[in-house]
Amino acid sequence: MNRLKTLLKIAPAALALHLLLATPHLHAHAQPEGSLPAHGSTVTGSPNRIAVWFDHPMRLTLFEVSGPRGVVPLTQGPGRDALTRFETSPAAPLGPGRYTVRWRGLAADGHVMADEIYFTVR
């Protein structure tokens, strides 16, 4: 019984120590730092460039833009190299409407990361 009481007393401290030590590892994943157009923004006219950038290198496995007329053809897709910034252009001007940029990539630590960015063209 005394052993159980001792375990119950140290369990919260052990858990807190574990979380404290694990936190730097959790933040080691590459995180998106920004996009062009900015997430949630409204732009006047078709953007010339569409980009996303990260705080650590990432190998993109998907970069797709879709809008009111479906998937948007791009001048360049992601390659095999890890990078901190990926930039491409629409193959044709974007018409008015809401657009979604979907990306997925593999961070240097092996974790798959994915997100969506939205912008509107006026």
DSSP letter string over 60-90? EEEEEEEETTEEPPBS----SS-EEEEEE-B
Per-residue confidence (pLDDT) for residue 8, from 0 to 100: 54
- Please work out, in degrees rounded to the nearest 5, the angle formed at the alpha carbon of residue 99 by the alpha carbons of 93 and 102: 115
Per-residue confidence (pLDDT) for residue 77, from 0 to 100: 95
As a whole number of angstroms, the distance between CA 74 and CA 64 comes to: 8
Is the pLDDT at 15 greater than 50? The verdict is: no
**Percentage of the chain exceeding pLDDT 70:** 77
Per-residue confidence (pLDDT) for residue 9, from 0 to 100: 62
* Mean pLDDT of the 4-25 span: 49
**pLDDT tens readout for residues 33-65:** 999 999 999 999 999 999 999 999 999 999 999
More confident residue, 23 or 59: 59
